Chains A and B, each alone.
Chain A
Amino acid sequence: MTDFMFLALSSLAIAGGAAMLFYRNPMYSALGLLISILAVAGLFALLSATFLFMVQIIVYAGAIMTLILFILMFLNIQDDNLPEEPNKTKFIAFTAVLMLPINILIIKAVSNLPDADLSIVENSDFGSIKAVGLLLYRNWIVSFELISILLLVALIGAVVLVKKRKKRGTEV
């Protein structure tokens, strides 16, 4: 059962990523990315990271994807706003060949590691919100504070960037 779930979720994730890559219309690309993100959330659940499963769905699929789709509709993109990509397939094939060596390197390195049981953990605190939260606030408190400052800076930056500004100089 777990094997079947893994196969289904991983093929969904890869198919969503490929759809994102090949569609010309960014709306279809965003929907492909959404499928990929949800499938990765399912893989998190298979790896018994229950809290991350929820965070992935709430933050990625809930917040970031909504933001992307909202901006896509807000910009009202017409077909002639999209770039012409005549050699897209050729470029993608060329880059895929370029990415092959690093993939082979990493998969070879990982396959040399000793095998361990990756099945779902039962009757344990592993990956629960309490255990992860305790770790986050005890051992990773500095990174947590820095991230909160980063989020504040990003919030201010986004507001400052998009607000209407007065034109400087005589040149338009």
Chain B
Amino acid sequence: MITLTSYAIVSMIIFSLGAIGVIARRNIFVIYMSIELMLNGINLFLVTFARYHFNMDAQVITILVIAIAAAEAAIFLSVIILLFRSKKSLDTDVFTILKQGGK
């Protein structure tokens, strides 16, 4: 039998995988994808509660979150292109110096 708790467990596991990726990995692409995964976990939680309360406000919030994720994708990926052009690396440790023309 599927209950609210099983959906909560799934969405919290997805969210935690995203958070672990942001903290533990050093590849900037994987960090970006982990942020997307965290947003997905929270979306699943919101939709679960929309069904639980039989109220669609949470689904509207989910649409807004997806729109924000799209905006974030555009900015984040262009920043990744800029960083990769100047440093030829995806390592977050290389990007500690953000000064233009720095070493």
Binding site for B on A (CB under 8 A): 2-3, 6, 10, 13-14, 17-18, 20-21, 24, 26, 29-30, 33, 36-37, 40, 43-44, 47-49, 51-52, 55-56, 59-60, 63-64, 67-68, 71-72, 74-75, 77, 81-85, 88, 91-92, 94-96, 98-99, 103, 106-107, 110-111, 113, 115-116, 118, 121, 126-127, 131-132, 135-136, 139-140, 143-144, 147, 150-151, 153-155, 157-158, 161-162, 168-169, 171-172
Q: Are A52 and B77 in contact (CB under 8 A)?
A: no
**In the complex the two chains form, what is the Cα distance from A131 to B19 in whole Å?**
33
Q: Is the interface of A mostly helix, strand, loop or mixed?
A: helix
Q: Is B97 an interface residue (CB 8 A)?
A: no
Q: Are A106 and B51 in contact (CB under 8 A)?
A: no
Q: Would you give the shortest CB distance from A65 to chain B, in whole angstroms?
A: 9
Q: Are A107 and B12 in contact (CB under 8 A)?
A: yes
Q: How many residues of B contact A (CB 8 A)?
A: 72
**In the complex the two chains form, what is the Cα distance from A136 to B59 in whole Å?**
9
A6: which of B6, B13, B75, B101 is its contact (CB, 8 Å)?
Answer: B6
